[in-house]
Amino acid sequence: MPDEKKKPVARGPRPDLQAALDAKAATLDSARPEAVAKRHDKGKRTARENVASLIDPGSFQEFGQLAKPAFKRIEGPADGLVIGIGTMDGHRVAVGAYDFTVLGGSQATISHAKFDRVGHVIHDLRLPFVLFAEGAGWRAHEDYINPRFFEESFVLLARLSGLVPTVSIVAGRCFAGTANMAGQCDTVIATRDAAMGMAGPPLVEAGLGLKLTPEELGAAEIHEKSGTVDIVVETEDEAAQIARRYLSYFRGQGAGESWTGEVPDTMALRDVVPENRRRAYDVRKVLDGIADIGSIIELRPRFAKAAVTALIKVEGRPVGAIANQPSFLSGAMDSVACDKIARFIQLCDAHDIPILFLCDTPGLMIGPQVESEALARHSARVLTAAANATVPFMTVVLRKAYGLGFYMMGSLALGPKLLVGWPTTEFGNMGLEGAVKIVHRDELAALPDDKARDARIRELADENLRRNLAMEVAERFEIDDIIDPAETRATVMRFLAVLPPQAPRTGRKRLIDNW
């Protein structure tokens, strides 16, 4: 009879391998039940659970799992930082998570060395990066070991700006250096119960004599209103889901990705803009009628409310939408709205996401308050960002297109590849009544009383308006087309269909301003 094939002999690991396996196992959650239980009792996930919520099973290559604190008198599995590379939904990604169960998630000599090592890998391989930022900043125990600032972590994170998309998730207490890292990322996601600040309560009390809880010092609500946090969610699970969705917008123009086929009610767009041109409306209803259902991710919704900035998808293709908000300041652009718009343009341009401008603005905000807020400088940021962007964009004028506000919101001077308007479109170099008062000053001054002057101003303003309504502007070919509002989504789809393929990127296109 022929010799039977020999079966491999089962054998256990050699002592040196067993020692390594045991040491790695000791860093896992299963080996630390008390620390894990404390975390769960607070309704929070562990660092490893957070990483697992994003990474495809079996794809995570961890760096420095066996690392220990440089200060040998304390214990700290992986020195309080779980970090590595892998895939998320089959796409390349890097993920890091500070471990609050290890000395409050503090940063230290070895954890910085780990971050530096992986930071170079992220940079060289151009990997999108998600950071779970939670911790108390620098670990005071190691001041005697590492008194110098030779860590590259902050510099490496800064060098990722515009090269790869970066996201930070703040789901607990995040202070000092860890908060700075969160703020270095393109987009900050925070849970409602999170707290963040550049100095924690002990330092604030020592320096200013103020005794505050972390939440009193820097609650998520505070940072949501100030614009520090882009998206606020309720739970860590929701934060991970948003981060996953967010990164899907940065994978190019592959039509159909993540599209469920659900089409919005485009006919509703015909009734969004009120017949009364002085009435306000919520421009988010316009986005609802253009974007794939469930695809809208609005950034900084409670900051700079005169503008709406959102990532959307149209038939699965990513688009960056920038809109004036008529329900706040009538859509006039103040300093914070300009900041919000300028940075969003940079984000989209850096990663080749086409832009859609939805314009309905009476222009830049006026008055002493905005002058004290340096509007001349802040508005210039929009122009600089838009004029130097190379990503293709189109503009839809919903109603008002006045002055420098319109000029910045995708006017012909900025080179939109398509400029269309709704039938409610109206144009002007400045507010109609303001223009009348300037041009007809002498005539108005000669009228007998205020009632007569007001009537004449209204008459002249209406006459000026009639010359600058949608059809008149289209006849002068100052706009490419007047469209049925219900056709807006289809118009955007046609625009996206003719865009050229993205050229392979070999490096960074531009930086993204952290503010």
Fold agreement between 40-249 and 261-425+469-497: yes
Query: How many angstroms separate the most distant Cα atoms in the chain?
Result: 124
- Are 282 and 270 contacting, i.e. CB atoms less than 8 angstroms apart? no
In the prediction, which pLDDT does 136 show?
Answer: 84
Give CA–CA dist 306/162, Å, rounded: 26
Find the radius of gyration of the CA atoms of the chain.
Answer: 28
Could you please state the CATH topology (level 3) that the domain comprising 261-425+469-497 is classified under. 2-enoyl-CoA Hydratase; Chain A, domain 1 (3.90.226)
Please report the DSSP string for 114-151 in residue order.
Answer: HHHHHHHHHHHHT--EEEE--B-SB-GGGTTT--S---
Give CA–CA dist 24/82, Å, rounded: 12
- Are 314 and 334 contacting, i.e. CB atoms less than 8 angstroms apart? no
Report how far apart, in Å, the C-alpha atoms of 262 and of each of 148, 284, 288, 317 are.
56, 18, 12, 14
Give CA–CA dist 285/416, Å, rounded: 23
Q: Which residue in 224, 240, 289 sits closest to 263, CA to CA?
A: 289
What single DSSP character describes residue 383? H
In the prediction, which pLDDT does 400 show?
Answer: 94
Coil, helix or strand for 470?
helix
Torsion of CA 347, 351, 354, 356, to 10 degrees: -10
Report how far apart, in Å, the C-alpha atoms of 409 and of each of 310, 343, 398 are.
15, 14, 12
Q: Mind listing the pLDDT tens digit of every residue in the chain (515 residues)?
A: 555 667 777 778 899 999 999 999 999 999 999 999 999 999 999 999 999 999 999 999 999 999 998 887 788 899 999 999 999 999 999 999 999 999 888 999 999 999 999 999 999 999 999 999 999 888 877 766 665 567 899 999 999 999 999 999 999 999 999 999 999 999 999 999 999 999 888 888 889 999 999 999 999 999 999 999 999 999 999 999 999 999 999 997 654 455 677 889 999 999 999 999 889 999 999 999 999 999 999 999 999 999 999 999 999 999 999 999 999 999 999 999 999 999 999 999 999 999 999 999 999 999 999 999 999 999 999 999 999 999 999 999 999 999 899 999 999 999 999 999 999 999 886 666 666 567 667 767 777 787 877 777 776 666 666 777 889 889 999 999 999 999 999 999 999 999 998 888 888 999 999 98
Residue ranges per structural domain of the chain: 40-249, 261-425+469-497
Give CA–CA dist 365/385, Å, rounded: 19
Residue 337 phi/psi, 5-degree rounding, is: -65, -40
In the prediction, which pLDDT does 267 show?
Answer: 97
Q: Which residue in 184, 307, 311, 304 sits closest to 242, CA to CA?
A: 311
Domain 40-249, CATH: 3.90.226.10
Q: Which residue in 456, 143, 400 sits closest to 283, CA to CA?
A: 400
Residue 22 half-sphere exposure toward CB, CA atoms < 13 A: 7
pLDDT digits (tens, 9 = 90+) for 273-331: 999 988 999 999 999 999 999 999 999 999 999 999 999 999 999 999 999 999 999 99
